[in-house]
């Protein structure tokens, strides 16, 4: 038992360090050989999952649907890149072959919290050196999301309530409006679940009141900063919350729709921006309508897997995917050429989690 615990501790430290190096690539996006490092560290991160072991999942309708739709989506992206003369063999390996191995690995489920804890620990150096940056906001928020989900138990509720102001404070320091909003919605879902599930004693009620008073006092500068960010962050774009992202979203829908997309330089050539700041518009503009449709089908299968047997809610997956897709509406979280390597890895970990979770439930019913 002691050896097993030491090994798990080693794995947490190993993945925390690896995640942190991936964060450095995200932060220094414009200062290094970006594409090469993204491929290299994504491959190292994905192949490192073999350290926790490999055991093939049991196949059923749900797992087949998720894996097949994921594969079809990525094949369509490869076809798009082929049409636009951008296909690379490393993309096939890093974004199709390795992720499918993760989805088919039953050991991911048994080590699920290990990856979440590593994700949380990896942001500690970022908190120490926090900067006003969307990238910092995205990475720090992901770390806290991993932390909250890893400790989703009734006995941890008060720990979470005391960690919450710290999380809000550091996300606010990064100046990322959209990340802060997504995190607030995520945390609302998180605490609603607990309030619905448990009865409060007088002592617990008193603790909640004290916490809420503390939270209100602590949140005053955050609310002020949030208002400032909404109305004053980019005066040259009309001070709107989306910072005029909707201009190139509308432009893509009007002029950029093709079956197989326009290639990776589409947004640079037409709008003089690096990316679309929206996962769905990114796929539509660069890879085309066919990959977008297949991606939506894949997301539909994820949503259906979260709500299994009509009454059961896979709440951990619900928390993460709620945060991920809310954030992806105003930030580009798509995988290829994207600096946010750990986001992609955690995304795959959660897809693997819901596959194995439903398999486990079906085994219990049998």
Q: What is the mean pLDDT of residues 234-253?
A: 62
In the chain, where the domains are located: 2-51+58-365
pLDDT 10s digits, 87-143: 888 888 899 899 999 999 999 998 999 999 999 999 999 988 888 888 899 999 999
| 153-211 confidence digits (pLDDT tens) | 766 777 787 888 889 889 988 888 778 878 888 887 777 766 665 544 445 545 555 55
What CA–CA distance (Å, rounded) separates 15 from 90? 22
Share of the chain above pLDDT 70, in %: 80
d(CA 161, CA 259): 48
Give the count of beta carbons closer than 10 Å to the beta carbon of residue 264.
Answer: 19
- What DSSP letter does each residue of 84-143 carry, written as one string? TT---HHHHIIIIIHHHHHHTBTHHHHTHHHHHHHHHHTTHHHHHT--S-HHHHHHHHHH
Higher per-residue pLDDT: 345 or 240: 345
* Residue owning tokens 């699920």: 112
Cβ pair 13, 312 in contact under 8 A: no
Residue 237's pLDDT band (cuts 50, 70, 90): very low
249 with 199: CB under 8 angstroms? no
Q: What sign for the dihedral angle of Cα 21, 26, 32, 34?
A: positive
| 58/37 Cα distance (integer angstroms) | 34
Name the average pLDDT for the chain. Answer: 81
């Amino acid at each position: 038992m002691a050896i097993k615990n030491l090994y798990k501790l080693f794995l947490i430290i190993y993945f925390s360090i690896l995640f942190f190096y991936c964060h450095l690539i995200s932060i220094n996006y414009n200062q290094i050989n970006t594409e090469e490092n993204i491929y290299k560290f994504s491959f190292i991160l994905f192949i490192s999952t073999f350290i926790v072991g490999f055991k093939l999942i049991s196949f059923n309708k749900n797992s087949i649907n998720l894996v097949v739709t994921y594969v079809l989506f990525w094949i369509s992206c490869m076809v798009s890149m082929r049409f636009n003369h951008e296909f690379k063999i490393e993309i096939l390996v890093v974004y199709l072959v390795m992720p499918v191995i993760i989805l088919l690995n039953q050991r991911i489920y048994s080590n699920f919290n290990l990856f979440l804890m590593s994700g949380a620990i990896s942001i500690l150096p970022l908190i120490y050196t926090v900067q006003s940056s969307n990238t910092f906001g995205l990475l720090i928020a992901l770390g806290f999301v991993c932390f909250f989900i890893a400790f989703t138990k009734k006995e941890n509720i008060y720990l979470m309530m005391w960690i919450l102001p710290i999380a809000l404070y550091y996300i606010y320091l990064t100046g990322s409006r959209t990340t802060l909003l997504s995190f607030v919605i995520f945390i609302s879902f998180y605490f609603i679940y607990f309030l619905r599930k448990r009865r409060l004693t007088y002592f617990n009620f008193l603790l909640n009141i004290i916490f809420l008073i503390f939270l209100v006092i602590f949140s005053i500068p955050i609310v002020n900063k949030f208002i400032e960010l909404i109305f004053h962050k980019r005066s040259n774009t009309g001070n709107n919350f989306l910072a005029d992202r909707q201009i190139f979203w509308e432009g893509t829908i009007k002029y950029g729709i093709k079956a197989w997309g326009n290639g990776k330089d589409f947004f640079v050539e037409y709008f003089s921006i690096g990316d679309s700041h929206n996962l769905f518009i990114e796929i539509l503009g660069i890879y085309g309508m066919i990959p977008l449709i297949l991606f939506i089908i894949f997301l539909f299968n994820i949503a259906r897997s979260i709500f299994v047997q009509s009454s059961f809610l896979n709440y951990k997956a619900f928390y993460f995917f709620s945060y991920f897709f809310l954030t992806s509406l105003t930030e580009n979280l798509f995988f290829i050429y994207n600096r946010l390597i750990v986001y992609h890895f955690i995304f795959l970990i959660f897809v693997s989690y819901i596959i194995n979770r439903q398999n486990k439930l079906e085994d219990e019913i049998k």
